[in-house]
A and B are shown apart, each in its own frame.
Chain A
């Protein structure tokens, strides 16, 4: 049962790594630009999990000062991830705007098709 215990203890990290690798795979393996952006979002989500899951301290309560409690969960990673989420949203919005422009310019949003018909540098 040792391996099951290890699995439960490291479960959040396993999910993080799975999402990370799945996201990167989608970015690399798919030619459709919107799918690449979705893979990128998936990849960024795994990072949020990497920061947030360890923020919960064993036996910690909500981080509001009170005389009755001594152990609090760590609020700093939540603040960091709020920033990272906003950055991710901005990147996604910019990426989608670029995809719309590429579609207008090339008529397609598949990278392989675009490279096939593009001029040589």
Chain B
């Protein structure tokens, strides 16, 4: 069972990491636009649209990846001190009551939202560059679907925890600070200084 859950984690992480590279694109597009605007005095028409699309895609598609790493901020004053089974019970109820309706709406009603836009090949209103906007709208149902899948995995985790009394293992990932690496660095510098 846990194998399936980890596989879902990997799907979410792979998707999130693939779209994470949008940030490099976003940086490049905006920098290009800045140079075009302030150096050559010839701002691009498409810069504004492209950067908004990259930003929107980035955070939407990373939602499931963040959920798979338990990265969405929680108010855990109480939660942290609760027994694992109580945590799982609360989470299970709230996933069904709070998470599923909104995310399912994104996945399902997002399709209609995209379909309508696609139907008359809607153009972006942000600039006059006439870039089609429907690809960005397609991101909504896609992100919703991946989140829903990850949500199913989280719900399964709650059930496992309710059954066995402890949370199943998660994958290890990049941390904000690589503590081991930093410690190694500091030691190396100290040794260099002593010489």
Partners in one complex: no
Binding site for B on A (CB under 8 A): none
Binding site for A on B (CB under 8 A): none
